[in-house]
Chain A
Amino acid sequence: MRNRNEPKLTSLSASLRARTVMIYVVVGLLALLSIFPFYYMFINSSYSSYHILKQMNLLPGTIKQLVMNIKSLSGHPEFNFAIGFENSLIISTAATFLSVYFSALTAYGIKVYQFKLRNAAFLFIMVVLMVPAQVSITGFVTEMMSMNLIGTKWPLIIPALAAPGTVFFIKQYLDSSLSLDIIEASRIDGANEFYTFNRICLPIMVPALATMAIFSYVANWNNFFTPSIILSRLQDKTLPLMVYGLYSDRFTDYGQVFAGLSISVLPLIVVYLFLQRFIIQGVSAGSVKE
């Protein structure tokens, strides 16, 4: 006898399949949109400026042209990869470390300690999150000038201490994954507050810290606005500033510019590959039972 449910099941599975296909199409399109600019950048670094301006290139050019573009970079008076890389590396690494560590401390404080105005403090951090950096730049530059820090790396590193977005993200992560009992267990075991934070809480936060470190590193590495105001001498410039230096009023070699851009983002890919393995879910699994 024919099962009455059979046609129903078949139509259900067909509709599920159609939905899955739809999801893949949408996700695929989004992935393409994200990847294409990078692909276009890498492809164009193997073309001459003439070919780039003439047409849209979708396939790789020649290795010879790529090498030529890279070689031409080293001869450019406004571009020095070694110096730019070193400056970007120092600024991005220091700023990322400071922003992630101190944001974690702040989020931990708000999560773990009961104090008056705790919610107000968190709200204030959220309000700061809404204020764009450009709004305060005049005051910031004036302050840096008065402190004689213009032209140094400090104005690009120290402000990273206050990263409201990172605080918010880590706080939300702690809300879902840190049991206060673990902190109390550590206190009873004999640890002081700082030791508890560094040895117990930080390892639990690693997925959130790694995620925020990636965002922070990318943002600092690509930061153009503030460094362009603070840094002016070639030996102080970061890679994005140097790439900008490749543009000229008279003639811009776009093959050279794309090669410069490609080289400048390569370290970011390395950082991403290094950090993404820490973004694993469930690091605290088994620690407490909810």
Chain B
Amino acid sequence: MASLSLQHIYKKYEGGVVAVSDFNLEIADKEFIILVGPSGCGKSTTLRMIAGLEDISEGEIYIGDRLINDVLPKDRDIAMVFQNYALYPHMSVFDNMAFGLKLRKLPKDDIKRRVSEAARILEIEHLLERKPKALSGGQRQRVALGRAIVRDPKVFLMDEPLSNLDAKLRVQMRVEITKLHQRLQTTIVYVTHDQTEAMTMGTRIVVMKDGFIQQVDSPTELYEHPVNTFVAGFIGMPPMNFINASIHVEDNVVYVAFENTTIKLPARYSIPEVLDHDGKEIIFGVRPEAITDDATYVSQHTVTGFSADVDVVELLGAETYLYVTVNGSLPLTARVDPTTSQSRVGEVVALAIDANRIHLFDKETEQSIIS
């Protein structure tokens, strides 16, 4: 186990393409760090630089106190789990898992003990004699995990390990990897484009876009306090509603106006950063669950209420998504309680925003106004 330090990391390709720019991150020992972002954001490149599979154009990477920029992958004491498993097709599950140990010339008894232990943890003891082609997708991914576990490396690197599994298996493996982290107490760097995986597994999440870190925070902080519209829109499903609005201040009270609606914000928003935007255009962010059609709530919160036309109602069992249009032009999504929601397609519905859970972003910089 070890900490990991990435200092001013750049990855520049021939032709001037910059995949990763000034990446700075301190990963503590035993931390489960998630690198998340859309395709091409540089998350996998960063992971591959940590693994030693890509050269580092600039910057320094340390595992513990050791600078590893010029250390070969085999000497970095890391293990990696690939998206497509990357098992050795001609070897049995046992040999796949034992491969790295044999190369390190460990005693046979030790190899057998370690492989058996990992197989027991991953519940693949009965598969040890099989070849990869005789395994299901989930079993193959377990073997790939097992191959990493037996090595007892300082850092685990996982490159979208669940992407090739079906939805049900993905949820199951997600839980198992989380349990594995709790059990092994090891440092994990995990790359994914799936924000659900990021939110549920990581102790901290690094959101990336176009090679730049956007925000590094715990899942809760990231969700509650996104630093910009990109992070706010990327984290959360359905995504946050972004509304072009303007701020008006009267008697130190902040009002947000959009379409033909004006809502009053609670006193806690009367801070200099917000007050400075008086009369300015902003981006008003509201998560779908902060909009409700609950009649009692709406009647009690008229200052944040508005009406909208219901376009689509999606019943998902535990929750309902309302796709509505305000003033005939502003589409919004609301996540409401199916047990209380009375909204029907084609009707005009009264909605209210939970003003304590809104976000304000600068129109030009798209950065959050509320720090």
Contacts and interface: CB of A to CB of B under 8 A. Distances in A.
B87 A187 contact: no
A287 B164 contact: no
Contacts of B137: 289
A188 B79 contact: yes
Nearest to A184: B53
A168 B208 CA distance: 41
Interface residues of A, number: 25
B38 interface: no
A290 B80 CA distance: 18
A287 B88 contact: yes
Interface in A260-290: 282-290
* Category for how many chain B residues contact A: 20 to 34
Contact of A195 (B80, B82, B88, B103): B103
Interface stretch (B127-135, B214-222, B269-277): B127-135
Nearest to B104: A190
B48 to A, nearest CB: 8
B85 to A, nearest CB: 6
Given A184-B53, A185-B82, A288 B87 contact: yes
A182 B90 contact: no
A286 B86 contact: no
Contact of A187 (B53, B89, B135, B151): B53
B147 interface: yes
A284 B91 CA distance: 10
A196 B6 CA distance: 29
A136 B254 CA distance: 89
Task: Please give me the 9 A-B residue pairs with the lowest Cβ-Cβ distance, nearest first.
Answer: A286-B133, A287-B89, A189-B100, A286-B132, A181-B86, A288-B84, A190-B103, A203-B90, A185-B86
Given A184-B73, A283-B89, A285-B132, 5 more contacts: A182-B86, A182-B87, A203-B89, A286-B140, A288-B87
Interface of B: 51-53, 72-74, 76, 78-80, 82-90, 99-100, 103-104, 131-135, 137, 140, 147, 151, 164
18 contacts: A184-B73, A186-B99, A187-B53, A187-B72, A188-B51, A188-B100, A189-B99, A189-B147, A190-B104, A200-B88, A282-B133, A283-B89, A285-B132, A287-B86, A287-B87, A287-B132, A288-B82, A288-B86
Interface of A: 179, 181-182, 184-192, 195, 200, 203-204, 282-290
